Each structure stands twice: as C-alpha cells, then as structure tokens.
Amino acid sequence: MTPMEQFKRECTAFFDELNAAEQRPLVFGEGPADHPVLMLIGEAPGEQEALQGRPFVGKAGKNLDAFLETLGLKREEIYLSNVVKVRPSKLSPAGRVVNRPPSKEEKALFLPWLMREIAIVRPDAIVTLGNVALQAFIDDVVGNRHGRWSQAVIHATPEPAFTLPLFALYHPASILYNGSLKSTYANDLQTLAHTLSVRTNGENDI
C-alpha cells in the first residue's frame, strides 16, 4: 500500500467512526503525490465535488482552468486538495441544501490530516485560496498576504516539522461577490506565474 493509500484508509476510518450517524462522503485530494511543482489548497468541497468525489470539479473547476492557463500548467501536473474534506452544508430558508463556511470544529478536525497529506505529497510550494486555506498555516488574513510568498510550517507528527513556500491568493469565489478583487486576483496570478517561470528556468527565488 502506498503512503497515500494508507492515509486515505486511516482518514476514512477516523471520520466513519466519528460521524457514524451522519455519513458525508470524504473528498480527497487529487493529482501527483510525488513532489509536484504546486499543491493548490481550497476551503472545502461544494455540491458537485461531494457528488463526484473529486475536488475542484464544480464552478471552482472553471476558475481552475483559468488558473492553470495563466500558469502554463495542466491539471494533472498539480495536486489539488481542500482543508476540509467534507461538504459543509445547511438548509436554506427555502429548504434547499446550500454550502456554508466550514465550522471551527471542522477545520480543527481536518487540519492534522491536511498536514499529513502535505508531508506525503511534498510539493515544491503551496498555493492557498482564501482565508480558510491560508489560516491552516498562518494566523493572518488573505487581505494582508495575497500575491506574495510566505513560509508555511508543516507539522505532521511524529515527523519533524518542515517549511514550504506558500503563495496566498483570494478565493476565486470571493471575486464573484466583490468585483473589485478581480484585477487584484489577476495581478497576483501573474506574480505567481512569473516566479514559477523563473524557477523552471533554473533560478530559485522563492
């Protein structure tokens, strides 16, 4: 069994036991788990992700296409995951099941699993989308950190902690609610594309 298969098996067993009465499907990360150039980390699966059991396949998948195009990467070249691996949902006043932000408890429960996942994948760098993903690593808001590199400490006990470069982006969904962020997001993506192309040309400035 590969370390990733082992990880999925243990994570599934943990959440099966915890949520025996309320079975929500886990949506695991997807992509090359062997030192990819990037690991993209979102907040949590939405409706389509939960239905299809894959990250970034709903509306977020469309945003992902633009992200990949700007960076000159293919979906298969990066590892995609989320902090919380079940869909946080609630009933709307109209009685529909709708997304909600992940709770503090959900984030705390999934954080050690995310750390372990990163320690297995060992990407060259992490890109976080939005506050939930950023705050899994750094106690700050994306408004202060977007468009530049920070250092993330990865602590997957019992392994020794290690650091990875982290590039913070706004969550693409926030652009839908706040149009003025659109050009900020586009500029940040250009900055990221630039550093990645510098790196692939042999220099390393992150």
Decide if residue 102 touches ligand URA (CB under 6 A).
no
167 contacts: CB under 8 Å, gap ≥ 6: 125, 126, 127, 128, 148, 149, 150, 192, 195, 206
Taking contact as CB under 6 A, which single stretch among the options 14-22, 28-36, 42-50, 196-204 is the one that binds ligand URA?
A: 42-50
Which residue of 31, 36, 46, 102 would you call a contact of ligand URA, by CB under 6 A? 46
List 175's β-bridge partners, or say none: none
Decide if residue 28 touches ligand URA (CB under 6 A).
no
Question: For residues 125-164, which are near ligand URA according to CB under 6 A?
Answer: 129
Residue 27 in contact with residue 46, Cβ under 8 Å?
Answer: no
Decide if residue 45 touches ligand URA (CB under 6 A).
yes
Decide if residue 79 touches ligand URA (CB under 6 A).
no
Taking contact as CB under 6 A, which single stretch among the options 55-63, 110-118, 134-142, 175-183 is the one that binds ligand URA?
A: 55-63
Distances (CA, A) of 59 to 45, 55, 63, 115, 158: 11, 11, 7, 26, 37
Which residue of 26, 31, 49, 88 would you call a contact of ligand URA, by CB under 6 A? 49
Half-sphere exposure of 94 (CA within 13 A, CB side): 3
Which residue of 56, 113, 170, 185 would you call a contact of ligand URA, by CB under 6 A? 56
179 contacts: CB under 8 Å, gap ≥ 6: none
12 closest CA partner among 20, 32, 133: 20
Closer Cβ to ligand URA, 115 or 129, answer by number: 129
Residues that bind ligand URA (CB under 6 A): 42-46, 49, 55-56, 58, 60, 82, 129
